[in-house]
Each structure stands twice: as structure tokens, then as C-alpha cells.
Structure 1
Amino acid sequence: MSLIKKDSRPLYMLVKEKIDEKIENGEYKPGDRLPSEAKLSENFGVSRATLREALRVLEKEGKVNRQQGIGTFITEKLALFKSGIEELNSITQTIEAMGLKAGTVDLKLKMNQQVEDLIKEFELNKNDKMVILHRTRTADDKPVAYCEDYLPQSLLPNSLSESDINISLLSFLQEESNIYISYAVADILPVITDEFLAKRLDLNIGDPVLLLKQMHYDDRDNPVLYSKNYFRSDKFEFHVLRNRG
């Protein structure tokens, strides 16, 4: 009998999540060798090809170690960056806090854009323009996150150019526009890497990434920045403090 409850996602991701659950609940412990591929395939009710793809993703995330001719072993996940989701730090601050060099590549700045989906969220008029910023963030010159940022154009200098944004965007807004972002409302979602993200984050198509969508507000509760940040899940780990009410 299959242990996998099917939904619309790829089957290998469902197998991967089931193994994740077994790691989280302690059924599989660091150092344990997993059952053979034949046994796991039978237990999950999937083909060996599907199982191998799930194991490949787990290995990419650093959760398992596959040794040819010996077996697959559970490892401890060692994310490079660990952060509380309640901590509003820029990606630059997060990278530099680990003693690494924060950088930006593939930066593209688009002015005079109309983004209908965000007009209501930003409380804009129909014809108000926006600025869209695309960039890949690096740590010691290796890609770790891809970012898309959306801002009302009225908040930025008229002569803004790509070369102006050489620091964190939060710092730029504070220094150049006197805008202090005090909090953000965030959603974090698991997504699958497509061809576009794979190229920018040095991943394979189908690899998992973490999407952090945030609307940022200034100290007067005005929405000033909407961002979509795609983090490599083998580099970033987010946690949240939950209190019982």
C-alpha cells in the first residue's frame, strides 16, 4: 500500500516530503542508512526512478549522502544562513553577518512600469508608475538568492540608475529617500525551480527553492516596497517563534 497521498505536485516531491517528515519526527536519525531503493520504492508505492529523483533533491539540500555501492545515509542539514522569519534584515545584512562578501549580479532596473496587480496594495492611482528591480544576490561570488522588487516611482530620485543601487535596498531607501522601513508582512512558499531561476541560482530545473513574498511598510504604515525573493533552500533556512495565545 502506498504511503503517498497524491495531489497536484510532482510525485517525487511528495516522496521527498514524506522522507522529510520521517527525518523531522526522528524515525530517520543522522547517520542512519536508509532502506534499499527497492524497499523504499515498495513502501512508497512509486517507481525507483521517482524515488531516485526524490533522493537527488534531498542530497542537493544536504539532508542525505548517497555513497555508490554502499547506500544512502541521513546527514544533518547545515544551512549556510539561518534566520528568524520575524527578523527584518536585508539580504546584505544576513550575508555579511556570516562573514561573507555580499554582492549583486544581473541587476536590471525598469522605470515607468505599470503593475496592475499592485495598484490596490500600494494605494496608487491608475496611471501611477512603478520601478521594478531584478537582481541576483551572491555570497562570496556564489548565487544564493534571486530578487524582484517593486516600488512606486514617486518615492525614488528622478535620476535613478542601476549604478546607484550598490548597497542594500533598505539602506538605499533610508539614505536616498529618507524612508525607514519598520516592518513587513511576509508569506513563505516552497516552489520548484524553472529554467529562468535555474540559470540565475546555479540550480537544476525542478530543484526546490523558498519564495519569500513581502510587503514592506514605513514607520507611518505606508506600503513602500513589495518584494519576491527566491532563496536557495540548501543555503537558507528560516524559522519562526510561535507563542501560544
Structure 2
Amino acid sequence: MSIIKKDSRPLYMLVKEKIDEKIEQGDYKPGDRLPSESKLSESFGVSRATLREALRVLEKEGKVNRQQGIGTFITEKAALFKSGIEELNSITKTIESMGLKAGTIELELEFKNEASNLAKEFDLSTEEKLAILHRTRTANGEAVAYCKDYLPYKLLAKDFSKDKITTSLFEFLQNEVNIYITYAVADIIPVIADDFLADKLELKVGDPILLLKQMHYDDRDNPVLYSKNYFRSDKFEFHVLRNRR
């Protein structure tokens, strides 16, 4: 006997919704293997063809993973933020695009000389300093990223202080310093949380983290900002569009 209450929609969509409900209610948890197709179709009172179409839609939505000859599995919890790395957006904008409130905690600022490759990238002399901004970014109050940003002090106003960073760093540079960032060169590196990052991101030591290192350039191709952003891998997922030449 079918447990699907029929309406005007296709039957496979009703089956799909019923599986959605079981996922939301916790009957099916991330990583669980679903019962066989024969058992599922019998429990829902539908044909195997109808069930397979429902599973196809769920797989397209990223909710299940079908492995030939093994079974169908509930996917692990999806990342909260999914972003194409070819799109250069501030973390603030990324968080707000999900309808969440972006925030900053533990904001610290230091000025120091950097006799390193980074100083050479910015074409700094040994006497010139970098402004280094440390901050934890939040979404609806939850820590989702730890950021370390480096800016040549010579580009900033003499009275620059951490209190002036009330919006995204991109917006601050554009509105207050007249620097418009147009592109960045980025590297994504998988790392694990040490004691420091685990504390900042409310993780356990050894948990996976995504490190996004970027050198940002203005509209005259000058390097103006270098950032090291550590993202919780359970909150952020990056993808890139690759074209074949």
C-alpha cells in the first residue's frame, strides 16, 4: 500500500519529498546508506522506476550519492557557503548573500617591518611597514573564518586604526583610501587546525581547514593587499570553472 498521498504533481516528486522529510527529521543521517531500491519502492508503494527518478533528482540536488553496485548514500552535510573562486567577493558579501549577518570579532591591528618576499612583492624598503589586520569573521554570530590581511602602511591614512574597519575591507579601501581592487591571484591549500586556529574557529585540533592565500591588485595592476583566510571546511566550499582550450 502506498504511503504517498497523491496530488497533481508527478509521483516521483512526491517520493522525493518524502525522502527529503526523512533527511530533515534525522531518520536518514549524513553518511547513511539507504535501503535497497526494492525495499524502498515497496515501502513507498511505488515502482522501482519511480523511485529511481526520485533518487536521480535528489542526486542532482547533492543530497544523495549513488555508487554503482554499492548503494545510495546520504551525502555529508553540505557547506553553508558555496562560491566560485573565479568570483572575487569579500567575505562580508559572501555571508550576506546567504541572508546571514556578517560580523567581526577579535579584531587586532599591528604594524611591523617585513624583510621578506612579501615586502618585495609590495616593493617596500626595509624602513617601510606593513599594517597587519587579524580578525575572526562570523555569520549570525558563529565563527566561520579567520583572516590575516597585510597592507602597505604607505597606502593608508596616517590616522588609520582598527576602529575604521566597520565594513568589508574591500569597501573600506574603495571608500576611504580610493583603492579599487579588480582581481587577485589565489592559492587554495588544505590544512589542519592547530591550537590557535582551533580556538579561533571553534574547532578541534586536527580538523580540516581551507586556507585561501591571495594577492590582490588594484585597477593599475599594483599589489595592494595580501590575505591569508582560513575557512571552516564544513562552512565553505569553493569551486572553479575550467575551460578546455
TM-score above 0.5:
yes
Q: Is the 8 A contact 1:184 1:215 kept in 2?
A: yes
Report the AA paired with residue 180 of structure 1. Answer: Y
CA distance in 1, matches of 2:142, 2:31: 28
Per the alignment, residue 242 of structure 2 pairs with 242
Instruction: Give the structure-2-normalised TM-score.
Output: 0.70
Q: Is the 8 A contact 2:191 2:208 kept in 1?
A: yes
Q: CA deviation at 1:119?
A: 1.4
Q: Is the 8 A contact 1:181 1:218 kept in 2?
A: yes
1:138 correspondence with 2:138:
yes
Q: CA deviation at 1:74?
A: 4.2
Where in structure 2 are the equivalents of 1:80-119 lying within 5 Å? 80-119=80-119
Q: Is the 8 A contact 1:112 1:153 kept in 2?
A: no
CA distance in 2, matches of 1:30, 1:111: 47
Which secondary structure does the structure 1 equivalent of 2:215 belong to? strand
- For residues 134-153 of structure 1, the C-alpha deviation after alignment (integer angstroms, 9 at most, x for no partner) is 00000000000000000100
Per the alignment, residue 48 of structure 1 pairs with none
Per the alignment, residue 193 of structure 1 pairs with 193
- For residues 180-221 of structure 1, the C-alpha deviation after alignment (integer angstroms, 9 at most, x for no partner) is 000000000100100000000000000000000000000000
Where in structure 2 are the equivalents of 1:223-242 lying within 5 Å? 223-242=223-242
Where in structure 2 are the equivalents of 1:35-54 lying within 5 Å? none
CA distance in 2, matches of 1:108, 1:172: 16
Q: Is the 8 A contact 2:186 2:213 kept in 1?
A: yes
Q: CA deviation at 1:63?
A: 10
Q: Which protein is bigger by CA-based radius of gyration? A: 2
- For residues 11-67 of structure 1, the C-alpha deviation after alignment (integer angstroms, 9 at most, x for no partner) is xxxxxxxxxxxxxxxxxx97427xxxxxxxxxxxxxxxxxxxxxxxxxxxx999xxx
Q: Is the 8 A contact 1:130 1:152 kept in 2?
A: yes
1:32 correspondence with 2:33:
yes
Q: Is the 8 A contact 2:113 2:127 kept in 1?
A: no
Q: Is the 8 A contact 1:63 1:77 kept in 2?
A: no
CA distance in 2, matches of 1:120, 1:197: 28
Q: CA RMSD in A?
A: 2.1
CA distance in 2, matches of 1:63, 1:204: 27
Runs of 4+ in 1 over 3 A off after TM superposition: none
Q: Percent identity between the aligned chains?
A: 66
Which secondary structure does the structure 2 equivalent of 1:119 belong to? helix
Report the AA paired with residue 199 of structure 2. Answer: K
CA distance in 2, matches of 1:149, 1:63: 38
Report the AA paired with residue 33 of structure 2. Answer: D
Which secondary structure does the structure 1 equivalent of 2:157 belong to? coil
Instruction: Give the structure-1-normalised TM-score.
Output: 0.70
Give the unaligned 5+ runs of structure 1: 1-28, 34-61, 65-72
Which secondary structure does the structure 1 equivalent of 2:96 belong to? helix
CA distance in 1, matches of 2:134, 2:115: 15
Q: CA deviation at 1:115?
A: 4.8
Q: Is the 8 A contact 1:192 1:209 kept in 2?
A: yes
Q: Is the 8 A contact 1:186 1:214 kept in 2?
A: yes
Report the AA paired with residue 95 of structure 2. Answer: I
Q: Is the 8 A contact 2:147 2:228 kept in 1?
A: yes
Q: CA deviation at 1:113?
A: 3.5
Per the alignment, residue 70 of structure 1 pairs with none
Give the unaligned 5+ runs of structure 2: 1-29, 35-62, 66-72
CA distance in 2, matches of 1:76, 1:112: 43
Per the alignment, residue 206 of structure 1 pairs with 206
Report the AA paired with residue 218 of structure 1. Answer: D
Q: CA deviation at 1:112?
A: 4.0
Q: CA deviation at 1:75?
A: 2.5
